[in-house]
Amino acid sequence: MTDCLKSQKISVSANNLGCFRDQFPIFNEISFSLSAGEALFLRGANGSGKTSLLLVLAGILPYSGKFEIKRFGENQQDIPANQLIHFIGHQNAIKPELTLKQNLQFWAQMYNGDQTSISQILEKARLFGLDNFLAGHLSAGQKHRLSLCRLLLSPRPLWLLDEPTSTLDSQGDTWVSDLISSHLANAGIIIAATHRTIELKDQKKTKSLTMGANK
């Protein structure tokens, strides 16, 4: 997985991004650039546009300005931009009627990922032994963990995370910061909206952007 990710090296740059929803400006003049192995933490009050910015970067919302993903690896010029991205938002995309394993199997196949490591991924998320448990019976924090498991199903360089630690316990916080650190170590890029500070091993590689300041 690590080698696979190294070959997908990218850098991203945003220039003067703006976003309107129903003629109402959500944010404007957002600029940043990140090279491989860097993280950007979006901060700001509720309603300052953090989630909207992530949705713009994920290619869901229309925007003004310029956002570019540059690919450096070999043989990856033909990978569509949407397949370079993992987006984990507030909605966890979990079907309560299916088991944990069935949920992850579906996403592994949708993301062209690896199905054989699902049990190991669940173990890392502290959902070990729950493979055949119905996802509807999980607690909110466990559902969020299951949703974060999608990040590990297939190696993709750009992770967009919306409040990755919001419902997690302290062990979960550590797990997420480990995930983020190892993704950065593998030359991945992370853009995360967060209120709580995420402790990382290498603080030098993180940037932070406060939203809502230039409204």
Partner 1 sequence: MRAFLIVIGRDLQLAIKNGGATLTQLIFFISIGVIMPIAIGPDKQILADLAPAIIWIAALLSTLLGLDRLFVADHEDGTLLSLHHASISLTSISAAKIISHWLITALPLILATPLLAVMLFMELPQFLATITALLLGTPALAALGAIGAAISVTLKRGGMVAPILILPLAIPILIFGVSAANSFAGAQTSSSAMLFLGAISLLAVAFAPFAISLALKAAEE
Which residues sit at the interface with partner 1, rule CB under 8 A? 21, 55, 58-62, 82-83, 85-87, 89-95, 97-98, 102, 106-107, 109-112, 150, 156
> CB-wise, 45 or 110, nearer to partner 1?
110
> CB-wise, 134 or 200, nearer to partner 1?
134
In angstroms, the CA 111 to CA 109 distance is 5
Q: Are 136 and 96 in contact (CB under 8 A)?
A: yes
Q: Which residues contact 147 (CB under 8 A, 6 or more apart)?
A: 88, 92, 93, 94
Rounded least distance, CB 112 to partner 1, Å: 4
Rounded least distance, CB 57 to partner 1, Å: 12
Task: State how far Cα 124 lies from the chain centre.
Answer: 17
Rounded least distance, CB 110 to partner 1, Å: 4
> CB-wise, 55 or 130, nearer to partner 1?
55
Which of 137, 110, 132, 138 lies closest to 119 in space, CA to CA? 132
Which of 99, 174, 163 lies closest to 132 in space, CA to CA? 99
In single-letter form, the type of residue at position 17 comes to L
> CB-wise, 83 or 210, nearer to partner 1?
83
Rounded least distance, CB 179 to partner 1, Å: 18
Rounded least distance, CB 201 to partner 1, Å: 28
Task: State how far Cα 143 lies from the chain centre.
Answer: 16
Q: Are 61 and 55 in contact (CB under 8 A)?
A: yes
Rounded least distance, CB 58 to partner 1, Å: 7
DSSP assigned state of 142: H
List strand residue ranges (DSSP E) for the chain, in order.
10-21, 24-34, 39-43, 64-71, 85-88, 158-162, 189-193, 206-210
> CB-wise, 57 or 198, nearer to partner 1?
57
> CB-wise, 10 or 94, nearer to partner 1?
94
